Every structure is written in structure tokens, then in C-alpha cells.
Structure 1
Amino acid sequence: MSKKVTDTVSELAVPILEELDLELVDVEYVKEGKNWFLRVFIDSDEGVDIEECGMVSERLGEKLDAIDPITHNYFLEVSSPGAERPLKKDADFHKAAGKNVHVKTYEPIDGEKVFEGILKSFDGTDLIILMTVKTRKKEVVIPYSKVASARLAVSFNF
């Protein structure tokens, strides 16, 4: 049911977001304790503010009320994905080139399943990440098909 809900919400949200020159980053439908949460993450090149989140929430809420795809009570939350934005689509990886990323794979590559470093490139098939390992720089090639999850990572320079 969760996949069907997120697909339906995505279909409803995209036209609203396109009209406002915003992009859909992700949709989550999760149960936490006794409550269900429908979380919609939006963004734009300039970022999003609370007014834009409120506008999307209001418009999306009206559409959800009209077709009623969720039969029980839930909380609708519309927000920015924040500094650690998930990378889900090819376009997300292309935009993330040159930025610090955190990638988890389905199976080990060079004995590791978690990688963090600068995304040097993404060609649609492979990610090339430049990692610092014990003061040495090391390039790792990760097949896109083996990526379980990926997100931007906050880097701290001291």
C-alpha cells in the first residue's frame, strides 16, 4: 500500500510543483508509533521557504481530500529535503557532481558497502567518487545498479 500511496501523491504533486517552478525530491509514507505521516520533500535551485511549503501543502491537501487515496488519518508534511538531500534520480546525481556524497551499496565493492567523498562524475552507468583514505586520495567506481541509497553529505572543513 505504501508504494501505491507514494506513486499517487507524486502524480498529484508534480503538476502543482511545476506550476510553482519547484521540483519533487521524494515522497515518504511511513508509520511512526500510532501515527501515519505523508512527507513530501520539495526543492528548487534557490531553495524553498515556509510560504512555498505551505502553498504546496494546501493545494496538495485539497487534491488528496478530493480523491481520498488514504483511508485512515495521517499527517501531511511538506518540507525541504535539507542539507542531506537524497539522490534518487539520474538528474540528482548529475547535479551532485563536485559535491560531497554518502552512498550505500547493495553489495560490497572493494570490501566496503558505505562510501563518502566527492562525486567526481556520473555517466548514467557508474559513479566515480574521490575518497580520502588515511590522507591518501582514492577513486572508487560504483556501478549505479548497485546503489542502495545515496544522499548529499555535509562536509566539515577544519
Structure 2
Amino acid sequence: MATIRVQEDVFDPQAEQVALTAGRADIGGVAAFTGLCRADDGLAALVLEHYPGMTERALAEIAAEAERRWPLTGCTVIHRVGRILPGEPIVLVMTASAHRQAALESCAFLIDWLKTRAPFWKREEFPDGTGRWVEARAEDDAAAERWRSP
């Protein structure tokens, strides 16, 4: 069963890996992706909004799909909400399996599907007080499409 968290607080990827693998001799590989807030176009902050309850359910469903597709021995998905500053982590996806290929593929699947199927709304804030909503990107949709079930 995957660990799913939606939180405002910054997380520590190394501590999360220790928690995922502690006492587990059946894990042969861990794959991880940590998404960070970039300072594109002079960005001051990124604000992520969500619907509590609905978001956690969606993340759990996406993680469950990864667990159906690959022989995972562990899975962690952490996504931040609220105001996030450049350089801070936004999302962590970590998968563990007896073999590297399952860990690597499932990690890529999870981040691709999270980008397109998780109910988050992003607003960029700039130093002058202006802001704009972030639109969905065609590249993210194309990345997620490669995992579509036949």
C-alpha cells in the first residue's frame, strides 16, 4: 500500500527513502523523482491549490494503478500545496521493487500521470505582485499518453 501525503510542509527526500526501505531486504532498487520549483521568468513563488480529500483519493488511485502494473514493494507520493518558493521541492515520487526496471518505469509512470490527472491548480506569483494561472501543457499530456493501457 502506497504512502500518500498532501502537505504544506517541505519534505526531506533522503528521510523518505530511509522510511520506505527501513528493514526491507526484499528491495533491489529504488527510483525517485523530486520536482522543484524553478524561478522561471523571475518567479517569486508558485501557489498550489487543491480540494482536500479529492486530491488524496486521486493520488491513491494513480499509485494503485502503478502497483497493479508493476511488482512494487513500496511506493511514496508526496505533493505540496500552498505557497512554494523557487528551489523548494514540490513533489516526490519514489518506488521500490526487487528489480530496477519496475522501479524506474513505475516512477516515470507516476510522475507523468500526476502531472495530468491529479487535481491541482497552480498560480505563479511575481515580485511586482502580478500572477497568472499555469495552463496544462501538451508535452505533459503526450508523456502521460505513452502509459495508456492497450
Instruction: Say yes or no: TM over 0.5.
Output: no
When Rg is computed on C-alpha atoms for both structures, the one with the higher figure is 1
TM-score (normalizing by structure 1):
0.32
> Which has the higher relative contact order, 1 or 2, with Cα contacts under 8 A spaced 6 or more apart?
2
Q: What's the TM-score once normalised by structure 2's chain length?
A: 0.34
**Structure 1 or 2: more helix by fraction:** 2
